[in-house]
Chains A and B, each alone.
Chain A
Amino acid sequence: MIQFKETSLKKVAEIIARYPEGKQKSALLPVLHMAQVEFGGWLDVPVMDYVATLLNIEPIEVYEVASFYSMYNLKPVGKYLFEVCQTGPCMLNGSDNIIDYIKQKLNIGVGQTTADGMFTLKTVECLGACGYAPMMQFGKTYREHLTKEKVDSIIEECRAKAN
């Protein structure tokens, strides 16, 4: 059965208390973020249905939101997600080369996951780090001023962590 950990349920209650009574739907985005972290990195339909029950809203209200925002993954992703920015300022600083290098290095295309389920490559639009380009989102933070060497060391870092 899908259920948040006790600590997460407490957090959900805390978030709902930030809004006026009856406006618990406002907690939807934060709770979906939590669900994605806790239930395997993506939002499966039963997970979204669970969130709907938790917030006392219709499942469709969850689906329409989950499908609107690019940070919610609607299909499984690898253990490590590389989200490389490709918008103007990053492009001026060689993001295309970084994307090509990751593709070649991991032998996957954009949107694909390596066979061992370790890495997924996504391209994203402007993440607000234009002065530190090229860059990617990696977990909670950013990796900036990317070079081929930096990409290599990030991949090694992930492999070391996984072992």
Chain B
Amino acid sequence: MEKKLLLEKVHIEGIRHYDVYRREGGYRSVEKALKMQPNDIVEEVKKSGLRGRGGAGFPTGMKWSFLAKPDGVPRYLVCNADESEPGTFKDRYLMEFIPHILIEGMIVSSFALGSNTSYIYIRGEYDWVTDILENAIAEAKQNGWLGKNIQGSGYDLEMYVQRGAGAYICGEETALLESLEGKRGNPRIKPPFPAVKGLWGCPTVVNNVETLAAVVPIINEGGEAYAQIGVGKSTGTKLISACGNINKPGIYEIDMTITVEEFIYSDEYCGGIPNGKKLKACIPGGSSVPILPANLLLTTAKGEKRLMNYESLSDGGFATGSMMGSGGFIVLDEDQCIVRHTYSLARFYRHESCGQCSPCREGTGWMEKILLSIESGKGKMSDIDLLWDIQRKIEGNTICPLGDAAAWPVAASIRHFRDEFEWHVNNPEKCLTENFGLRHYADPVYVAGS
């Protein structure tokens, strides 16, 4: 079911502004947190089971507990609002329509971590969202939630928004920090991790927008109450941004117990595929995670209904499963060409590679060229093996995960749709005007005529 913690109040008129947000119970978590010990807040977040909502799914409380606390050295909290993973547009929604929930979550988190200056690093293209956030920060400050001696607690905090300038790689936390320092977004070698050496060499925590917003209900209702929502290690709610060939693209806040099938076909969520078309494939967690054909998407290899959560989406590993990732849910209908779509993603990763590591810098370019050649009817059968070989040589051989992110979509496309690649090679003329179609990937539930 649709369970709302973050978006519960998003439709209230004027919620973007402080007065309405406060009237609706906003900033209660700050009042509560300022009376707690910082470590108790960290413990509460640990209890909640909250996992990083940016894509990696790492437990947030644990990440916070790694923060080094040497004497006399400032610590920083940086919010990662560099939302750039194709298919992902949830953070923008949150910041655009209910910006104070992020600021509230950041104040609580900054207090817990001992940060007196916190930054929101937002992708440069979200120019108007930056204005919205800056207005909200000014409102919060006017009302005593930021600045010196917040609400008489003795705690000081300043918050600033910094715009990036168009680079997917800056969503990687060390590249983000480089960028915030005014440099090219080249990821750093880890260790040292940002928790030890982050912004300007100081201990730093970098968290996604949705993660920091989730701290608000966790402090208000308690970590245990939050952990009771969902299933297993997928606690709380998750924002899913749904797009592609569906009737109702948009942002959905779900508790992670619903099935993928319900998410795609129910009118409460995506509302099915337009024009009576059939489901061909889906990338369930942002462009970097493996694409799945309809049959493996809706049911796991074991034959169980797949659920919209961390464990179920990754059930079967990369052989037959995928990942929750950032929650960027991209649906492809029967008319879509897998080769063309994979080419588009490969072009994206080639464009976004920072160029530091040769496997990624060179490999992404090769993959793009080969995919374009197959897509335009000029491919050879050996190209498919070459593609496979290149992606294998990128994966795991780069400083940051962009290499893996570029390799996985290509690998999964070949793994599940090899016959479509072969069809392109065997039908160099036909593939320019015709579509391979569904073949055996057909959705087993919603077959023709149903």
Contacts and interface: CB of A to CB of B under 8 A. Distances in A.
Given A126-B86, A141-B128, 17 more contacts: A20-B200, A25-B181, A26-B181, A28-B182, A29-B162, A29-B165, A68-B354, A69-B166, A69-B167, A69-B185, A87-B348, A88-B345, A89-B86, A89-B244, A89-B330, A130-B89, A131-B242
B48 interface: no
Interface of A: 18-20, 23, 25-30, 32-33, 55, 57, 61, 64-65, 68-72, 86-89, 91-93, 124-133, 137, 140-142
A23 B164 contact: no
A141 B125 CA distance: 8
Nearest to A129: B89
Contacts of B128: 140-141
A18 B160 contact: yes
Contact of A30 (B87, B125, B162, B242): B162
A68 B168 CA distance: 11
A60 B446 CA distance: 58
B15 to A, nearest CB: 20
A133 B83 CA distance: 16
Nearest to A32: B165
A91 B335 CA distance: 12
A128 B83 contact: yes
Nearest to B200: A23
B167 A68 contact: yes
Interface of B: 74, 83-89, 92, 117, 119, 123-128, 158, 160, 162-168, 179-185, 200, 241-245, 249-251, 283, 287, 328, 330, 332, 336, 340-341, 344-345, 347-348, 351-352, 354
In order of increasing CB-CB distance, the 6 nearest A-B pairs are A69-B165, A28-B182, A70-B166, A131-B249, A71-B166, A130-B243
Given A23-B200, A92-B245, A137-B125, A130 B341 contact: no
Nearest to B88: A128
A72 B165 contact: yes
Q: Which of B89, B167, B283 is packed against the most chain A CB atoms within 10 Å?
A: B89
Nearest to B119: A18
A50 to B, nearest CB: 16
B182 A65 contact: yes
Nearest to A131: B249
B88 A125 contact: no
Q: Which of A69, A93, A125, A126 is packed against the most chain B CB atoms within 10 Å?
A: A126
B89 A128 contact: yes
B181 A33 contact: no
Contacts of A89: 86-87, 243-244, 330
9 contacts: A26-B181, A65-B183, A71-B125, A71-B166, A86-B347, A88-B330, A88-B345, A89-B244, A92-B245
A18 B351 CA distance: 31
Nearest to A19: B200
Contacts of B126: 128
Nearest to A83: B125
A84 to B, nearest CB: 13
